[in-house]
Structure 1
Amino acid sequence: MLARKYAEDRTGLLLIDAFNDFLSEGGKLWPRVQPAAETADLLGHLRTLLGIVRRAGLAVFHVPHRRWREGDFDRWKHPTPWQLEIDREGLFAHGTWGGDWHADLAPQPGDVIVQEHWGHDGFHSTDLDLQLRQRGIENIIVAGMALDRCVAATARIGVELGYHVTLVRDATAMLAPEDAEPGSEGPPIAHVIVTTQELAAALGQP
């Protein structure tokens, strides 16, 4: 059981990088995600999570990666390996189906769409912290893609910035499942790690 209360006016969901390239058949990264996603019913849990959060009246923040454009990393001195992969593969390309939201997870009226992040961390060089604090959000629920990339980085920085962070473990998946699960070593990425069902119970939702 979760001891912490998720007050409606102080809690928000961060849905990270819910793009077709990650989560839809035909997406460029879907073949790498598919085995774990289907085993864990990732899309089912993401749909359920959004429904739970909306019924509970919580704010939804969409935290998108930079949609790739030709020349994005030209003359960069130190792009990260992930940025080099994005550039090489044209991941989440601007104006393409792959860079669009998964149809079941797309923003709805009243949701907040945060500025696009260039690296793993959804806070760095975006308005995420400002959007959360202006709305009085203290508790953030983190889900989306990918656990070993932007989800872990954003959750960890959320902890560092003083938010209470909840990770929904069956509403995310790793892009490189051969790697050790983030959080098993090093600084924790969340205060609480729950399943979708456990979060529903904490929010008083069926």
Structure 2
Amino acid sequence: MAETYEPRRTAVLLVDPYNDFLSEGGKVWPVVESVAEEVGLLDNLRAIVGSARRSGVRVVFVPHRRWEPGDYESWDHPNPTQRNIMVRHSFAKGTWGGEFHPDFQPEPGEMVVHEHWAQSGFANTDLDTRLRQHGISRVILIGLLANTCIESTGRFAMELGYHVTLVRDATAAAKREMMHSAHELNGPTFAHAILGTKELLTALRGEGSGA
């Protein structure tokens, strides 16, 4: 059965749309560039965000912690990604790399939730509270990275009782194998729907209501 998305109960979660991830010259862009260009990431993100806004689906910005001097240095157990951030200073606060890509700027009234320290956009943030206060029961995950923050946020959403949609070509990763794992191996264990951008856009334009 085709997926349907009732606008008032659906949100697009745009995860980590930073210049460092999405823009030429960004610190992490060279890591994801090949896969991102192969799937048409930027055009697909633009299409989904634009369609969501036109259809009345909420767009929610789910940003990673913007690095500041001293972050993680005194932690007992920083994870491998956090150790890389300590060296690379990804998404550094007050820098161009730590700003959202110019094509993905919050519009008036759109939520920008608390920054996540690790990989889940729900852990230790206000995302769940704010979604529930707006009656959201379905979440569509797009952004970076497929096998880390997208997967972790999607799993956490499922555990909290949300209907979870992944979008194969509206995310990227460092390797094709990581994309395959995220969507073909791991995604089916927690996501309720795994679509391509074209399928999702059709669903967002469609009639009917989703629970």
- TM bucket by the smaller chain? over 0.9
Aligned to 1:182: 182
Aligned to 2:27: 28
Q: After superposition, what is the alpha-carbon deviation per residue over 1:62-95, rounded to whole angstroms, capped at 9, x for unaligned? A: 0000000010112111100010001111000001
Find out whether 1:134 has 2:133 as its counterpart: yes
Q: After superposition, what is the alpha-carbon deviation per residue over 1:3-48, rounded to whole angstroms, capped at 9, x for unaligned? A: x321111001000000000000000011111111111111000000
Aligned to 1:197: 198
Shift of 1:176: 4.1
Shift of 1:160: 1.0
Aligned to 1:42: 41
Aligned to 2:6: 7
Distance 2:59 2:118 in 1: 21
Paired residues for 1:118-133 under 5 Å? 118-133=117-132
Aligned to 1:97: 96
Distance 1:177 1:184 in 2: 12
Aligned to 1:76: 75
Q: Is the 8 A contact 1:18 1:102 kept in 2?
A: yes
Distance 1:99 1:147 in 2: 19
Distance 2:184 2:201 in 1: 25
Distance 1:167 1:122 in 2: 15
Distance 2:32 2:183 in 1: 19
Unaligned runs of 5+ residues in structure 1 are: none
Q: Is the 8 A contact 2:63 2:116 kept in 1?
A: yes
Distance 1:145 1:200 in 2: 19
Q: Is the 8 A contact 1:148 1:176 kept in 2?
A: no
Q: Is the 8 A contact 1:152 1:189 kept in 2?
A: no
3-state secondary structure, aligned to 2:169? strand
TM-score normalised according to structure 2 size: 0.92
Aligned to 2:209: none
Q: Is the 8 A contact 2:15 2:61 kept in 1?
A: yes
Q: After superposition, what is the alpha-carbon deviation per residue over 1:111-167, rounded to whole angstroms, capped at 9, x for unaligned? A: 100000000000000000001000000000100001011011001111111000111
Question: Which one is further off, 171-180 or 9-18?
Answer: 171-180
Paired residues for 1:136-155 under 5 Å? 136-155=135-154
Unaligned runs of 5+ residues in structure 2 are: 207-211
Q: Calculate percent identity across the aligned residue pairs.
A: 49
Q: Over the residues paired in the alignment, what is the CA RMSD in angstroms?
A: 1.4
3-state secondary structure, aligned to 1:137? coil
TM-score normalised according to structure 1 size: 0.94
3-state secondary structure, aligned to 2:12? strand
3-state secondary structure, aligned to 2:205? coil
The structure that is helix-richer by fraction is: 2
Shift of 1:189: 3.8
